[in-house]
Each structure stands twice: as C-alpha cells, then as structure tokens.
Amino acid sequence: MQLSELKEGQIARVVRVGGEGALRRRILEMGIVKDSEVYVEKYAPLKDPLELIVKGYHVSLRVKEAMQITVELKEQAPHS
C-alpha cells in the first residue's frame, strides 16, 4: 500500500521509496528509508499535506510525494 493511503494514527514500515532525482533524494534525506517506521500524526484540514513522525521527529509530506512511498501496515496506535 502507499503511504498516502494510511489514516491518522496508523504505523507502517517503509518497503520502498520510489520517485526520481531530487524528490527521491529529498525523501531519503528526511530519514524515510527502507525499513524505517513511520507514524501518521495527522492530515492538514484539506487532507494535504500529511504530518508524519519518523525516527522521533516530525516531517510533512504532500500527498503526491507520499504516493511514491510503498509501506507495509504495522499496527494501529492504541489512542486512535
């Protein structure tokens, strides 16, 4: 599934980072790399961008960028 398909409060493991060139490099530099865990903190009011927690820090991604990242759903957070 794509990162953009996750709902608030879900946790997933990154399986693959797609995209090309500067976009892919930017995503990787933010720590969103294969096997890293991402937590979907929240979506903006108009559902774009989404805020993630990756390796203990907050990252915002546009939905279009999140569509380039393939993830495996890990679990549902207890408070959602």
Would you say residue 31 has pLDDT above 70? yes
Length of the chain counted residue by residue:
80
What pLDDT sits at residue 80?
Answer: 46
What pLDDT sits at residue 78?
Answer: 55
**Are 26 and 17 spatial neighbours (Cβ–Cβ below 8 Å)?**
no
Q: pTM score, two decimals?
A: 0.85
> Could you tell me if residue 24 is left (phi over 0), alpha (psi between -120 and 50 degrees) or otherwise beta?
alpha
pLDDT tens, position by position, 42-66: 999 888 999 999 999 999 999 999 9
Domains identified in the chain and CATH numbers: 3-76 (2.30.30.90)
